[in-house]
A and B are shown apart, each in its own frame.
Chain A
Amino acid sequence: MKTVEEIRAAIEAGVPGAGVEIVPNPGPAAQHSLLLDPERAVEVAIFLRDDPELALDFLSNVTGVDWLDKEISEKVKVTHQVTKTVNGVEQTVDESAEEVRKHVVPGYLEVVYHLYSMAKKDGGPVVLRMRTRNRTDKVELPSMTSIWRSAEFQEREVFDLYGVVFKGHPDLRRILMWEGFKDHPMRRDYVEPDDFEYEPTAHDAVLTRAKTHHEADAAKGEGQ
């Protein structure tokens, strides 16, 4: 199987201007991946499937990953001008101080595809990645179902559990959670509901949470 660089070169030759980057994978597994631009992803996918050299006809796995917003704080040396009295004379002097600056790196949802070749039967997976712009409103990505049918149920699962909307999917609805379920459970900031049934459990961690919910309901009932 070709290395990631060779595959990238082949994609650049087959689909010019596709904008594919290599995402290195630290650690011993060394399964490096290719980051696709969502605009050109479908063309790249068709090329990868139909190219006689690569013949990546088998989409093995579609995974969703949630990367939260990261707050990065760094210490910056800032100089500003201050009026001070030096030796009895008022002067404007440069004074440097250390400031802590925080900025937020926006998180995104990522979809990872693992491809193999059943025709060539060689080597490790070719890993493709696509990232959404953010986690809140720009969560659309193109669907690979028209190219590889195995993406049908797996993309539905990524939609259900992460909230990524796949454009061009024939039947995008929830698959594991029931219809009418709100929120996306596999996201890292998902808060579980705590309105459990009232039943004593062994060490009552669950019971205390349930009780707060039921007491609130009882108080509401009394208030009415």
Chain B
Amino acid sequence: MSGSVTELGFRLARQEGWNQSPVIERDTDTEQLEVAMGPHHPSTHGVFRMNVTLEGERIVRLKPVFGYLHRNHEKLGEGNSYLASMPYTDRLDYFCSLTNNWAYALAVEKLAGQAVPERAEYLRVILAELTRVQNHASAVGFLIQDMGASGTPLMYAFREREKILDLFESLTGSRMMCNYMRFGGCRVDASTEWLDRARTVVAGLPAFADEFEALLCKNEILMARTQGTGVLRPELAINAGVTGPMLRASGVNYDIRKVDHYGIYDRFSFKVPLGDHWDVYDRFMIRLLELRESVKILEQALKDIPAGPVMDPKAKIRGFRPKPGEAYGRIEAPKGELGFYLISDGGPDPYRYRVRPPSLINLTVLEDMCLGQNVADVVLILGSVDIVLGEVDR
């Protein structure tokens, strides 16, 4: 299963540059089969299609096709005011609506030079880390389900996720489409009762992580299938703009929470786990380790959250017109670097509204990781990239 393309019986036909996708061929003259995996497929994490060319069971060529969920989010953003785009950002990466909200709020606050009060920053961190916990648990659950474990680890992850979604519902009003962050803070304040409930949920998370790891990490079938599959070299990962857990599993120490010092992440001590072998097993383990780090951040934030307002008094809800200019704001979303690029012309609507989708850019190297692997491994490798089509297509 491991080894370079040449070891697996293929030879390199051509490669335009060290960072471009190689074209491989087999020595023997066998018939190639072109299969479309998706868009209607249970394991492609959404309406996602991969045109794979197969020689027997091995992949010779893989071209991803998407756009089936394109909802012209960016054009809508140009026609709507800044506030009206906020509920639409919920629907980009629909698993992690609060981090999408935060990224957009951060970009607009950069554009307008808006300050955020301290309690709102703490609430943002708490909600973002809760989002990260439930996203990583679900991502691992879906990956294991794609491997054939028909839902058991997924449902264990969903059990914890339900607790977190109940917290979201009682604070923001909705389980998934939270629409909670505003430019200058958060929409409503969290009561002490909510914070106590959050502390109870967070206290139960280490036990869940232990149980999850005991169920999965030493499983021989899992190890045999994922170790050595879908190797991504770090130089290629950096050059291809891969970010998030996929980049850190390739050994590159780049976490935007540590690099950009946005929000108040400097006040919390947490580690950034890195991978050694750059394969699917590393990506899976990285997500579980990051889940534990997020729990650490949550414990610290829930302990230290100060009293105060959650909305800057100078912030405007209606009639918000930032001065002409542009800004690019980014955060470490659970899937990678989520950035928003806004150009303002002084009016109530942005002139250009662009979402930098981590899932799309992480897919750039899907072909490189899958070449020479078996068809069955493609599903695993795609699961380890952790895409959400809402973000890829917008």
Whether the pair A27, B111 counts as a contact (CB closer than 8 A) is yes
B16 and A60 contact, CB distance less than 8 A: no
Give the chain A neighbours of B113 by CB distance below 8 A.
Answer: 27-29
Stretch binding the partner chain, chosen from B121-129, B288-296, B319-327: B319-327
B92 at the interface (CB under 8 A from A): no
**Please, what's the 1-or-0 string for B1-17, where 1 marks a CB less than 8 Å from any CB in chain A?**
00000000000000011
Name the distance in Å between B255's Cβ and chain A's nearest Cβ.
10
Chain B nearest CB, measured from A174 CB (Å):
8
Chain A proximity mask over B308-340: 1 for CB below 8 Å, otherwise 0: 000000000000001111111010000001010
Q: Which residues of B contact A185 (CB under 8 A)?
A: 72, 75
Q: Are A29's CB and B259's CB within 8 A?
A: no
Residues of chain B within 8 A of A153, CB atoms compared: 360-361, 363-364
Contacts of A63 in B (CB 8 A): 341, 352, 354
71-119 of chain B: CB within 8 A of chain A:
72, 74-75, 110-113
Q: For this complex, into which size category does the number of interface residues on chain B fall?
A: 35 or more
| Inter-chain contacts of B20 with A (CB < 8 A) | 145-146, 149, 170
Knowing A149-B236, A152-B364, say if A60 contacts B67 (CB, 8 Å). Answer: no
CB-CB < 8 A to B19: which residues of A? Answer: 146, 148-149
Partner of B70, one of A25, A26, A176: A176
> Which of A26, A121, A151, A170 is in CB contact (< 8 Å) with B324?
A26
How far is B365's CA from A145's CA once the two chains are assembled, in angstroms?
A: 13
B252 within 8 A of A: yes
Interface residue ranges of A139-161 to B (CB < 8 Å): 145-146, 148-154
CB-CB < 8 A to A26: which residues of B? 323-325
Contact of B238 among A25, A112, A118 (CB under 8 A): A118
Q: How many A-B residue pairs have CB under 8 A?
A: 115
A175 to B69, CA, bound (A): 12
CB proximity of A2 to chain B, nearest CB, Å: 16
Shortest CB distance A189–B (Å): 12
Given contacts A58-B241, A61-B339, contact A114 B361 (CB under 8 A): no
Question: Is A114 within 8 A of B70, CB to CB?
Answer: no
Is residue A11 contacting chain B, with contact meaning CB distance below 8 A?
A: no
Interface centre among A29, A59, A177, A186 (most CB of B within 10 A): A29
Q: Tell me which residues across on chain B come within 8 A of A149, comparing CB atoms.
A: 19-20, 236, 239-241, 364-365
Q: With the chains together, A112 CA to B342 CA distance in Å?
A: 12
A127, B329: Cα distance in complex, Å: 13
Chain A residues near B326 (CB-CB < 8 A): 25, 27, 29, 31
Q: Smallest Cβ distance from B141 to chain A, in angstroms?
A: 27
Q: Which of B74, B322, B364 contacts A27 (CB 8 A)?
A: B322
Cβ of B156 under 8 Å from chain A: no
Nearest A residue to B19 via CB reads A149
> What separation, in Å, do the CA atoms of A65 and B351 have in the docked complex?
9
Query: A145 to B364, alpha carbons, bound, how many Å?
Result: 11
A170 to B16 Cα, complex, angstroms: 9
Cβ of B344 to closest chain A Cβ, rounded Å:
7
Q: In the bound complex, how far is the Cα of B354 from the Cα of A154, in angstroms?
A: 11
* A176:B330 contact, CB within 8 angstroms: no
Residues of chain A with a CB closer than 8 A to B16's CB: 146, 170
The residue in chain B whose Cβ has the minimal distance to the Cβ of A59 is B241
Q: Which listed residue (B74, B110, B254, B323) contacts A121, Cβ 8 A?
A: B254
Considering the chains assembled together, what is the distance between the CA atoms of A69 and B112 in angstroms?
27
Across-interface contacts of A65 in B (CB, < 8 A): 343, 351-352
Say whether A60 contacts B330, CB under 8 Å.
yes
Task: Give chain A's interface residues, CB within 8 Å of chain B.
Answer: 25-29, 31, 57-61, 63, 65, 112, 114, 118, 121, 125, 127, 145-146, 148-154, 170, 174-178, 185-186
Can you give 19 contacting A-B residue pairs, CB < 8 Å?
A27-B323, A27-B327, A28-B112, A61-B328, A65-B351, A65-B352, A114-B356, A118-B238, A146-B16, A149-B239, A149-B365, A151-B241, A154-B360, A170-B16, A170-B20, A178-B67, A185-B75, A186-B72, A186-B75
4 A-B pairs closest in CB distance: A27-B325, A150-B241, A28-B113, A29-B327
Given A60-B356, A170-B21, output 13 extra A-B contacts at Cβ < 8 Å: A28-B112, A29-B326, A57-B239, A63-B352, A63-B354, A121-B254, A150-B240, A151-B241, A152-B364, A174-B67, A177-B70, A185-B75, A186-B75
